[in-house]
Structure 1
Amino acid sequence: MILSPTGFLRIDSSDLEYRMIGPAPDAAPTIVMLHEGLGSVGLWGDFPDKLQAATGCGVFAYSRAGYGNSSPVTLPRPLDYMHVEAFDVLPKVLETIGFRRGLLLGHSDGASIAAVYAGSRQDHRVQGLVLIAPHFIVEDVSVKSIAEIKRAYETSDLKARLARWHRDVNNAFYGWNRAWLDPKFREWDISEYLAYIRVPVAIVQGERDQYGTMRQVEIAREECYCPVDATVVPGAGHSPHREAPGATLDAIGEFASAVLRDEGSQGRAA
């Protein structure tokens, strides 16, 4: 299909909003961005534009169902919702946009989805993974922070602020929050997929991430047979691309340049 700068993809019964920045997938490598558990196309801000300028790649960002201006989902979400995204939705998104080669870049939930996808199939179009603040297991700090944000959502202006980015803000928030706070979700563990990833991995981890510890990086290094390059961003929390965009872009740009050097990328801007 011909991708407009903005629009919607029809995937199964859902309309998923998207942004496409830079060259089309048939003209250059593409970085496909997978947002966090409360994210959307809009919440990436101008980071996709900066990423495109830094790498020369096309950048494709979309809102999963239940987020942004995409179709809502039926609640409660199943506890394997990230597996569903990796197995059923992401492959159709890549086919629909004509993805030929490039990187998957995921933040938080999006990083987990990218890892499950790459570890469950040999998609030779995917030449590397960028995982920002990934989760491979559930940690105590994750549950504590997610419980705290639930209180903030219900007692502060957080709901109103998130409503700027989500057409159905309750659908977005509770679809994510209730799954993570379900006691059965403590058993969620995707580390088994890491051993089957066959492309280089770059992890960008905030030093002060309130949703995960360095244990997540250690698991990747223990389980992956592929190269794992970890960048710890001093002073940053769970969203280093917003809190320290310069350092985050430097890390991703260097990784993209190395991985896509022979794949038609223009490399990082001078």
Structure 2
Amino acid sequence: MEGSIISVSGKRLYVEQSDSFEHKPTIVFLHDSLGCSQLWRDFPAKLSGQTECNVLMYDRLGYGKSFPMFSHQRENNYMETEADILNEVLNTLNIQEVILFGHSDGGTIALLFASKYPEKVKAIICEAGHIFVEDVTVKGVKDALEAYHTTNLPERLQKYHGDKVEMIVKAWTEIWLSDRFKSWNIEYALKNVTSPLLFIQGENDEYGTLEQMEKTVSQVSGQSEQYIIPGLGHTPHKEAPELVLAKAAHFINQNH
């Protein structure tokens, strides 16, 4: 896939794109809170092959090969803002019709984008997304921060984010562990999600209970499907890639 840096509202973002299928939608992969395009590994190419859809991946500002964040400080609505940035990315690249595949924060951004720009979305795959803050999520973030201070996690992240690691860890952990973020909730937006939704979650997700999934699928307006995978944690597409690939490909092939 071709990689390049584009400029979107003064932000320099790294994008990777393959558009070999004419008149087919583009699957947009939205990474998690410490992720980037590279960390999807070969999953996007495989899903593209099984669905004959094009692919777009991009690194949000501060992540991967994109330019650094301007500040680690975030507002409560930072994911709503990211949904608007995604819209600008699509406009810049002249992409009209998308299937969203978002993991964790990326799953939340996918839901928010679909609620704001429904005319562009053919279908959504939300993997381990969040729609409100739970105690288990806060504990998961605390545990990750502890691992950052006590293990080789900084070195592992540096491989993908270079010298931006400290900034993204601070940005993620400070907002999720703050008192003001406890009230964050996007259930208000779900009724505006009209495209078909597949919500994938590991039964033992360490960042959210199955209530995240149940409340999402019950409140969206479009048809929705849930896929709970026994024994898995927060990252099903890495823990059981073939299972997730098969389910996602079937869902996409039914809905485009």
Q: TM-score range by the shorter chain?
A: over 0.9
Match status 1:151 vs 2:146: yes
The 8 Å contact of residues 22 and 52 in structure 1, kept in 2 or not, is answered as: no
Secondary structure of the residue that 1:179 maps to in structure 2?
Answer: helix
Alignment partner of 2:109 out of 113, 125, 128? 113
Which letter maps to 1:77? R
**Structure 2: distance between partners of 1:92 and 1:225:** 25
Alignment partner of 1:81 out of 75, 78, 81? 78
Alignment partner of 1:16 out of 13, 17, 25? 13
Alignment partner of 1:130 out of 112, 121, 125? 125
**Structure 2: distance between partners of 1:206 and 1:182:** 26
Alignment partner of 1:207 out of 203, 210, 222? 203
Aligned to 1:265: none
**Structure 1: distance between partners of 2:100 and 2:149:** 33
Alignment partner of 2:234 out of 230, 234, 238? 238
**Structure 2: distance between partners of 1:172 and 1:46:** 24
Return the offset for 1:28: 2.1
Secondary structure of the residue that 1:213 maps to in structure 2?
Answer: coil
The 8 Å contact of residues 36 and 109 in structure 1, kept in 2 or not, is answered as: yes
The CA RMSD measured in Å over matched residues stands at 1.4
228-237 or 128-137, which deviates more: 228-237
Aligned to 1:44: 40
Structure 1 41/190 Cα, relative in aligned 2: closer, same or farther at 3 Å? same
Secondary structure of the residue that 1:163 maps to in structure 2?
Answer: helix
Secondary structure of the residue that 2:174 maps to in structure 1?
Answer: helix
Aligned to 2:3: 6
Alignment partner of 1:71 out of 38, 54, 67? 67
Q: Which runs of 5+ in 1 are unaligned?
A: 261-270
Return the offset for 1:256: 0.4
TM-score for both structures, normalised by structure 1: 0.90
**Structure 2: distance between partners of 1:102 and 1:65:** 21
Q: Which runs of 5+ in 2 are unaligned?
A: none
Aligned to 2:156: 161
TM-score for both structures, normalised by structure 2: 0.95
Percent identity for Structure 1 against Structure 2: 35
Aligned to 1:266: none
The 8 Å contact of residues 21 and 52 in structure 1, kept in 2 or not, is answered as: no
Match status 1:180 vs 2:176: yes
Which letter maps to 1:111? G
Return the offset for 1:70: 0.6
**Structure 2: distance between partners of 1:208 and 1:178:** 24
Between Structure 1 and Structure 2, how many residues are aligned? 254
Return the offset for 1:27: 4.0
Match status 1:248 vs 2:244: yes
Return the offset for 1:154: 1.2
